Structure 1
Amino acid sequence: MKNILSLVAIILFSLNSFAQQNPTYKIEYRFVVDPKLMELSEEDLNESQKVLLAAVMMIQVFQEDDKPLAEVWGNKEFVKAQSNLSSNQFELTDKKNNIQYLVYPASTQYYKNERPENVPLALAEELENSDNELPFEFTDQTKEIAGYTCKLAKMIFEEEEAPNTPITLEVWYTEKLPSVYWGEYYYLKNIPGAALEITTMGIGISADKVTIDNSPNLFDIPDHYTQIESPLERDFLSMDPTADKEKEYFLADNRTAFLDEEKDLYGIKDSEGKIVLAPQFSYIQTFEDDMAVVIDENSYYGLIDINGKSIISPKYESLTYNPQDKTLAFILDEKAGIMNLQGKILIPNEYEYINFFSDEGRAIATKDGKYGVIDLQNKTVVPFQYPAIVEIVENRFIVSEEDDSYSLYSLEGDKKASFDYIMYAKEKEIFIVIQNEKYGFINADGKVIIPLQYEYATPFEKGLAEVYKQGAENSVFINTKGEIVQK
């Protein structure tokens, strides 16, 4: 059973991947579970399946609907991975020098591991060996994942506690992206491509979006960060509902959460060990702007300040802080709304989902399973009639249609363009589009202003976008007119 839990934890929480020759790819993973597993009654489940279903329920509670389970950036030399269930750390892998970094932004610290291949694999012990060469079986099976044709590799092993019940780990990979290996996933060096889906026993992760993101400093550790001698404990909840909780974990400078094992609740103490808040919460999130979201023993959410004083009493089914405008998205009676830090309701909880407001004062929300847009006065700007609105940009919004295409609309509902994919190019009234795996640019009226002729293209930064043509030796930079310029 321990190996099963470790395997599931690896799949869901140690999430990182891959890149192509030049660009940095951003990969978004979603949690996936076989519907057949969810349909089984408790009498039909074996012990391993019961553990998996418990893990499913736990993840669904803590995963926000509007966020992928994990975001991964990768190129030829580096990988950066961030699990959205563990927002207080991310992992960097320097593939060229074979070095792994665990980075903790909240405490401005990092841990450097110069021998990541020696990190325990945490799979069945019989699979470990000095060369990290695990017994994958490569097949000719294929399927499409996030626009890539993937092949299947399988690893079959048995649990010591159930020797007659083999377990299969399935890895779907694409050879169009180089393989990567990091930390507990070092065994993926034996996969001839990038893993876009990893599952076992009907549960796992799958990439549903792969985009280009060549933002600067993605793989940098700021100079003022301090190197530490050992890694900090991870701050997400264990996959194993019966596992011991962390005894202590970081909350802020001079603030640490500590566990009262008798009460099974967390309190807060300072760096000198003085108790700031007596144990009374089942979980305390990291402080931001000297505030932290807390969860009480009845699974209700609230907000406290740096001294443990209550700001918002725990009575909400979810609470998320937005540091940009100092507001809170909340769920009460299974409906979402927004309030300020004084508890005043700004947007009533009448939506199935709502995101934070943009600089233009608009927010995406859902009603009856359909997406629309509201303003700060809770007036409908865009009717609730779209399958999925993914982005609002000034007076335009982008819709992911039911046929998996993307469309650009005006706020008045006029469709301006449809392509395989559309995203904002971070330049006024310019959008990146993809059609038949070719990248180009359109304006806000849907007119192509830079032809779809590139193998990849990045958003603009300071008026320049990086593009690459098939057959070219290197990528080049273009301006908003499509002219090649020197950076």
Structure 2
Amino acid sequence: MENVLGFKEKDLGFCKSYDTVYQLDENFFKVKKGSKWGFINKLGRDKTPIIYDHIYKFDEEFYKVKKRGKLGLINSEMKEITPIIYDEITSFNNGFAAVQKGDKWGFINKTGKEAIRLIYDFVEKFNWESGFAKVIKDGKWQLVDKTGKELPPSNGICWDYVFFEGMSKVSKELFCGVELEFKKGFINREGKVVIPLIYDWVDRFQDGLAKVQNHGKWGFINNEGKEVVPLIYNNVHMFSEGLCLVEKNAKFGFIDTTGKVVIPLIYDAGNNFEGGLARVYRDDHNSMIHIDKTGTEVTICVGLNAKNKRLSHKKYF
């Protein structure tokens, strides 16, 4: 009689040697004898000694084993890739797993090698986009890359640690006038502040520009920190198809990447360009219009009801 993985009952006589047998796949079994666990193959031969207190499925490639209160990893070939010395092992993320020994943390790679030394008080997982992990050392947050290279201690700066176009947002509590305020700027991948922390809010860089805000007014800076769009708008969108929807004094229009107004701020609401057209509203939201990038009104729909009036402004800006 075949079992679900194709083994015949007569082939499983070795199971009688163990108190508990769990089939892991077509080649390996997890077995228990007395209070200890180990691995055997489909021929009943030991692949590991029966010495572990617990065996846990870790992920598709590894098993986590526990012995005398310590943890280690075994790969899918039933080979120990780490010594059983850790107090905690987190799941792999971007090729690295955080490990703890005593009160210190570091990272191992998928070969089991300690790729980043266990010298940190706390670590977070590696960010897939930036290639950095946030860590705490000597009470200070900083970043570490996959080679173990550290960016300088934050010195009170809060990291975003996601990099876009080589820049990451940072913020710091500063004394401004008579009160403490959080001011924001940008660092590069070396941890150097390249755009001063002078803004109330900053957004990520996209196509060489980032939107920034001070005292309730928005504009754009380039990656050198130059304000290419002055901070004069009540609100700005991100650029789409080379144009950006902006609001000033409750009227909407579009600017280009130099800050030039290319479609006058005469509309009550609007949305971004898509496929060469943008939808805008005027006449107290009573008219919906499609415009092209020159501002030419391509289609006009009038007589929108009161419900659509309320939704239009909320939905599109």
Going from structure 1 to structure 2, the CA distance change for 1:312 and 1:456 (only over 3 Å counts) comes to farther
Confirm whether residue 305 of structure 1 aligns to residue 118 of structure 2.
Answer: no
| CA distance in 1 between partners of 2:220 and 2:292 (Å) | 22
Shift of 1:284: 1.0
Confirm whether residue 315 of structure 1 aligns to residue 127 of structure 2.
Answer: no
Confirm whether residue 364 of structure 1 aligns to residue 177 of structure 2.
Answer: no
- Structure 1 residues 410-462: Cα deviation after superposition (integer angstroms, max 9, x where no partner): 5235761333332322444x33335677764322344433446375524x56x
Q: Secondary structure at the match of 2:153?
A: strand
Shift of 1:380: 3.9
Shift of 1:268: 3.8
| CA distance in 2 between partners of 1:485 and 1:266 (Å) | 67
Mapped contact 2:93–2:125 kept (Cα < 8 A): no
Aligned pairs for 1:57-456 (under 5 A) are: 251=59, 253-255=60-62, 258=64, 260=66, 263=69, 267-270=72-75, 276-277=81-82, 278=84, 280-288=86-94, 291-296=95-100, 300-316=104-120, 317-324=122-129, 326-345=131-150, 347-351=151-155, 352-354=157-159, 355-359=161-165, 361-369=166-174, 370-376=183-189, 378-393=191-206, 396-401=209-214, 403=216, 405-409=217-221, 411-412=225-226, 416-428=230-242, 430-434=243-247, 440-450=253-263, 451=265, 453=267, 455=269
TM-score, with length taken from structure 1: 0.37
| CA distance in 1 between partners of 2:293 and 2:71 (Å) | 53
Q: Secondary structure at the match of 1:364?
A: strand
Q: Which amino acid aligns with 2:220?
A: L
- Structure 1 residues 88-125: Cα deviation after superposition (integer angstroms, max 9, x where no partner): xxxxxxxxxxxxxxxxxxxxxxxxxxxxxxxxxxxxxx
Going from structure 1 to structure 2, the CA distance change for 1:439 and 1:335 (only over 3 Å counts) comes to farther
Shift of 1:296: 1.7
Going from structure 1 to structure 2, the CA distance change for 1:271 and 1:349 (only over 3 Å counts) comes to same
Mapped contact 1:439–1:457 kept (Cα < 8 A): no
| CA distance in 2 between partners of 1:271 and 1:417 (Å) | 57
Mapped contact 1:438–1:456 kept (Cα < 8 A): no
Q: Secondary structure at the match of 1:399?
A: strand
TM-score, with length taken from structure 2: 0.53
Structure 1 residues not aligned, in runs of 5+? 1-246
Going from structure 1 to structure 2, the CA distance change for 1:309 and 1:444 (only over 3 Å counts) comes to same
Going from structure 1 to structure 2, the CA distance change for 1:275 and 1:382 (only over 3 Å counts) comes to same
Q: Secondary structure at the match of 2:126?
A: strand
Q: Which amino acid aligns with 2:238?
A: Y
- Structure 1 residues 360-412: Cα deviation after superposition (integer angstroms, max 9, x where no partner): x3333334443223345555432222233223345543224454x53434523
Shift of 1:312: 0.6
Other-structure match for 1:117: none
Shift of 1:349: 1.6
Tell me: higher relative CO, structure 1 or 2? Use CA pairs within 8 A at least 6 residues apart: 1
Please identify which structure carries the higher helix content.
1
Going from structure 1 to structure 2, the CA distance change for 1:285 and 1:433 (only over 3 Å counts) comes to farther
Q: Secondary structure at the match of 1:424?
A: coil
Going from structure 1 to structure 2, the CA distance change for 1:269 and 1:472 (only over 3 Å counts) comes to farther
Mapped contact 2:93–2:126 kept (Cα < 8 A): no
| CA distance in 1 between partners of 2:297 and 2:56 (Å) | 54
Other-structure match for 1:18: none
Q: Which amino acid aligns with 1:392?
A: F
Mapped contact 1:457–1:465 kept (Cα < 8 A): no
Mapped contact 2:241–2:276 kept (Cα < 8 A): no
Q: Which amino acid aligns with 1:408?
A: F
* Residues paired across the two proteins, number: 227
Going from structure 1 to structure 2, the CA distance change for 1:262 and 1:423 (only over 3 Å counts) comes to farther
Q: Which amino acid aligns with 2:62?
A: R
| CA distance in 1 between partners of 2:135 and 2:298 (Å) | 47
Mapped contact 2:228–2:258 kept (Cα < 8 A): no
Shift of 1:302: 2.2
Going from structure 1 to structure 2, the CA distance change for 1:364 and 1:259 (only over 3 Å counts) comes to same
Going from structure 1 to structure 2, the CA distance change for 1:309 and 1:419 (only over 3 Å counts) comes to same
Going from structure 1 to structure 2, the CA distance change for 1:386 and 1:325 (only over 3 Å counts) comes to closer
